[in-house]
Structures are given as C-alpha cells and as structure tokens.
Amino acid sequence: MKNVIGHQLVEQRFADALQRGNLHHAWLLHGIKGIGKHTLAENLTARLLCDSHSACGTCHACRMLEAGSHPDVYHIGLLEKKRDISIDQVRDLLGFLALSGSESERRVVILDDAERLNNQAANALLKGLEEPSPGSLLLIVCADIEKLPATVRSRCLLQHCAPLDEPGVREVLQLEFADTLGADAVLLDLVVGFADGCPGAVSCLHERNIIDALQLWSRLTENIADADIAKVENWCRSNVASVPHELIIRVLLQPLYPLLQNLKPEAFEAAQLLHKAVRGCMRWPGEVQRQSLRAAPSLLACLLELRSALRNPVIQR
C-alpha cells in the first residue's frame, strides 16, 4: 500500500465503517487534481480486500493488488484521445459489479475522472447507484464535483479531499523528486511553491527544461500589470507546447491571490472585471482542448485582459 499524505481522516472513516459493517456502497472522493485521490482510492481498496482489512501488504490479496492482478478490482477512467467517459464503459463497470467475486465476496470499481462522464454515462451510473449489487463497492474519483449530476452526488457518500499543507507537499515531493532534486533545497522550495498544495500538478518537473521555463514565466508575470509583453509573447511561443497548461495558469495567478482576497468595497466594478479576467485564465486550459484554440495566442489574450484589469487605477490604489 502506498503512503497517502493528507487524507488520513478519510482513511479512518472508511476503516471505522468497515469495522462496523455498514460500509456505504459508493464513496465519492472529490477535490482538485493532483492531491492523491486516486492513490487514496487504491488504499481504500487494499484495506477492504486485505485478509485482515489492514492493507498489510503481505497477504495473498495484497500481493495481487500490488501486482495489479486482483480479479475483483476494476479500473475505468478517461481513455486516451477521448473527451469523455462513455456509456459503454459504465455498462462494463456495472456488469463487473454484478458478478460474483473470484477471490472474495467483494468487487471494487475505481472510477477515475468522473467529471468527464457524458450525460448517457452518468444516467447509466445512476441506475447502478440506485440498485447496488450485494458486495459491490464503487470508489468515484472526481476533480470537479459540480460537473456530476445532483442525482449521482446524492446517492454517494461524499468525501472532500483538501489540498495538502506545505509540509505535506514537501514530504511528497522529497520522495518523488529524490533523484531529480537531490540535496538542492532551493530548487525543492521552488517546486513546492509551484505545487500550491497539489503535488500531482508538478509531476512533470522531473524535466529540468520545464523547471527553467516556469522559473522564467514566474519572473515575467510576477508583476503582471507591468509585464514586458514582448518577452511574455516570446515565452508563450517557445514554451506553451511543452509546459502543462494548468501549471502555466497556476504560476500566473499565484501572485494575485493576496490582492484578490483584499479588494476594497469601493473597487466593486473594477473587481468584477478583474475576477472575470481571472476566470478567463482559469478556463483557458480547458478551452484550448475543447475548442482546439491556438494555445500561445489565446494565452496571450488572457494575459492581456488580466493586465488591463490590473492596471485600473482603483485596483492599483
């Protein structure tokens, strides 16, 4: 079983429910991407199927889980080059849950990327939630709970997974980047800052060229109102294809958090424009994918709108 940092409370709730014998048939693990929800789901699966319900790591069931060969566990998620999870995938999921267990009386499905269920798939899943098969457990991993229909949410046991605190992020990244960062404490601090509570968001930073690109991006956008647009445009053209888009926006918006939290009431109209520009930046990664936008020009357009909003004299005061 992998060590899960930051979600011990959910693990304890699961263990307590398992011990009492009243385990809910569908757990919805929700929270932003990159905080370990899928690993948490795997650990809950290990706890359920382990001979001693402790995820011991040594029993036959735990060894099969470690090898990825346990016949009573089924994984589904967004397939490569697909925009959503289809109804056929959900039908396969429900068919698996209806079977008798091979090694135990339990069957577990881990449904990842649940926010990408299309309407037909979500409706099919709803039927399975309303009529759960005996011994079945559905662990749903979701990065945006609002994209799931309320009818699906209401039939699950909701478990919010929060971003990790700074020590938790540091612990995860020290393990993950041991070979890359070595004893470079300054670089580790930088990566921890980029993570902003979500270690998974910086998994690409094993590549030093991406770290260097993000360092430059951070310097160029540290003061967005006075950013050198020519240099910003050049960065976009050179790096937007290689640096993950979510991470670009994360670094872009980090300097604005204190300002957004301390806007004065008299700046209401200017604040609305600023929030609109921030939302535009946050939507940019998804819109590039959904609408096949040209990444570099559309990013620059978002930044220019943000820059204009920040240069409002009311905001500057």
CB-CB contact of 31 with 37 (8 Å): yes
Distance of CA 36 to the CA centre of its chain: 8
**Domain range 8-160, its CATH number among 3.40.50.720, 3.40.630.30, 3.40.50.360, 3.40.50.300:** 3.40.50.300
Q: Two tokens at 305?
A: 């709108």
Q: Two tokens at 295?
A: 């990444």
Q: What's the Cα-to-Cα distance from 116 to each of 163, 268, 308, rounded to whole Å?
A: 21, 35, 34
- Quickly state the pLDDT bin for 285 (edges 50, 70, 90): very high
Tens of pLDDT, residues 302-317: 999 999 999 988 776 6
CB-CB contact of 167 with 133 (8 Å): no
Domain definitions of the chain by residue range: 8-160, 164-206, 207-316
User: What is the arithmetic mean of pLDDT over 261-276?
Assistant: 83
CA 164-198-76 angle, 5° bins: 110
| Stated pTM of the model | 0.83
Among residues 222, 287, 214, 295, which one has the least CA distance to residue 253? 222
Tens of pLDDT, residues 195-210: 889 998 888 887 888 8
pLDDT in the model for residue 249: 95
Q: Which residue in this structure is represented by tokens 């068919």?
A: 95
Among residues 3, 10, 7, 5, which one has the least CA distance to residue 158? 10
pLDDT in the model for residue 182: 62
| pLDDT above 80: residue 48 | yes
CA 306-311-315 angle, 5° bins: 100
Tens of pLDDT, residues 127-173: 889 999 999 999 999 999 999 999 999 999 999 999 999 999 998 88
CA 2-181-176 angle, 5° bins: 10
CB-CB contact of 76 with 111 (8 Å): yes
Phi first, then psi: give them for residue 48, nearest 5 degrees.
-70, -45
How far is residue 203's CA from residue 246's CA, in Å, rounded to a whole number?
A: 12
Taking all residues of the chain, what is their mean pLDDT, rounded to a whole number?
A: 91
Q: Two tokens at 213?
A: 């690109």
Task: Please indicate whether residue 173 or residue 238 has the higher confidence score (pLDDT).
Answer: 238
Percent of the chain's residues with pLDDT above 70 = 97
Give the strand pairing for 107-111 and 73-76. Answer: parallel
Q: What is the DSSP string of 212-262?
A: HHHHHHHHHTTTGGG--HHHHHHHHHHHTTTS-HHHHHHHHHGGGHHHHHT
